[in-house]
């Protein structure tokens, strides 16, 4: 059962979606999917550190080129548990453009363009 705080969070997301023009196909535009994904990641990071990139990669999750760079860097696991997407230009492009010019594998924002 969702808490009152979770309900408000969902309502805030829905308010933002009400202003977005949906295509006739009924599918959400990739920019909307990107904004929702970013909001969910920010929300998850508020509750504590994210899973490290080392662990994610070890469990078979594909990482983007930037996440791979952080994963192999000589930094601690705390740095590898940060939301790298937060500072990535692909996130910004994906949140403000439908079909942004981003193509590298492993990027969730690229995946939103495919559906």
Question: How confident is the model at residue 26, as a pLDDT?
Answer: 63
Question: How confident is the model at residue 1, as a pLDDT?
Answer: 44
Question: How confident is the model at residue 104, as a pLDDT?
Answer: 85
CB 91 within 8 A of CB 41: no
> For the whole prediction, is pTM greater than 0.85?
no
Question: How confident is the model at residue 12, as a pLDDT?
Answer: 72
Q: What are the average pLDDT values for consecutive 10-residue runs of the chain, which has 115 residues?
A: 64 62 69 92 90 95 94 94 91 91 90 82
CB 104 within 8 A of CB 65: yes
CB 54 within 8 A of CB 73: no
Domain residue ranges in the chain: 49-115
d(CA 8, CA 18): 15
């Amino acid at each position: 059962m969702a808490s009152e705080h979770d309900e408000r969070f969902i309502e805030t997301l829905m308010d933002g979606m009400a202003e977005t023009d949906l295509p006739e196909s009924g599918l959400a535009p990739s920019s909307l999917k990107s904004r929702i994904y970013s909001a969910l990641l920010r929300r998850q990071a508020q509750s504590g550190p994210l899973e490290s990139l080392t662990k994610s990669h070890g469990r078979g999750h594909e990482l983007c080129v930037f996440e791979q760079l952080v994963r192999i860097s000589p930094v601690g696991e705390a740095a590898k548990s940060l939301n790298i997407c937060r500072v990535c230009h692909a996130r910004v492009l994906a949140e403000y453009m439908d079909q942004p010019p981003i193509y590298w594998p492993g990027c969730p924002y690229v995946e939103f363009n495919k559906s």
